[in-house]
Structure 1
């Protein structure tokens, strides 16, 4: 599943981002789609889907972690003291897969996390699940 195809244009717009700014990256470990609120504007939304790495395999040594739940999915809310305007929610999709939502370049961490929570809530029912 391509990260830019998980949400339709209306869902992206309803979340406050411009669907025409979709930018797909497939470089090394990055398999993500990024959106902004308007061309060359911030904040930035990134949706990343990894089918080769479990949630518990992420290297989060220098980050702040909070166990989290998005719908039925186990998740982690992740912040970094070095980046106060960024918030990440990574959701477990199976034993070797996860999806991540990152919102950055906002006015505050609270704003980034509120936006990431909204996106994760809309994204969760659309995500593929790994068979168990």
Structure 2
């Protein structure tokens, strides 16, 4: 008497297809999770950059051009000089880097003003060139 188990060929493909479907769902689930994590990381970097003015990937600081223009004009006024100041907008630089603004005086004379970023908090120094 033959006691070998009989195989039903119709059952094997069904199990195989079920295994493939489960593997496909797992792959799509993992890809979905990775895509979600990448999206959250991207959004987090954008929110952090907007909130702090610092890009955590490049260390660039986005400066408030209007505030810097006013501070330079106020410093000029403190020594009795009337000047309007124009800076690039947006003004983006890494700590240690400088960007140029232009100071214009009453008679139309102009000077370049180098604005140097001191740190990631956006503190700057400036000097007439």
Structure richer in helix, relative to its length? 2
Give the structure-2-normalised TM-score.
0.28
Q: Which of the pair has the greater relative contact order for Cα pairs under 8 Å at 6+ separation?
A: 1
Structure richer in strand, relative to its length? 1
